[in-house]
Amino acid sequence: MELEQALHAARALVLADLMADKVADADIVSLVEDAVVHRRWWVEQWPQGVEFVAGLIAQDVQDSLLDRYGRWPLCPVCTESGDPHALDVEPELGPDPHWVCPKTAVAVARVGRLGATLEG
């Protein structure tokens, strides 16, 4: 049951971020579902990794979006640089994942909280 709860929670967090950026159309939601299926298998193989699944699903969706549509989520910190870039998930493999600007190391939001303040 812990696995299913973690997967559903991770799915909800990533969908919330996609909705915050207004990019949660049906094709993109399908990418989330694919990531959840993949990570279900992964956690079944390594049950200790259940606390990392939210960040991993966020990274999986980000990678799938890059391949098909472009960078997501775009960094809101470096808007004036003229070089749009995506945020990274940090830690790459750890609990409590955050979206972080790779250029300034500014933590923008927790996964699932894009569009909200970090404290919120």
pLDDT at 1: 61
Under the banding of pLDDT at 50, 70 and 90, the label for residue 115 is: confident
- pLDDT tens-digit profile of 33-49? 999 999 999 999 999 99
Tell me which residue of 91, 84, 93, 83 sits closest to 107, measured CA to CA. 91
Query: How much is the average pLDDT of 6-25?
Result: 95
Average pLDDT, whole number, for the chain? 92
Distance CA 85, CA 92 (A): 17
pLDDT at 103: 94
- pLDDT tens-digit profile of 67-94? 888 999 999 988 877 788 999 999 989 9
- Tell me the whole-structure pTM to 2 decimals: 0.91
Tell me which residue of 11, 20, 7, 15 sits closest to 120, measured CA to CA. 20
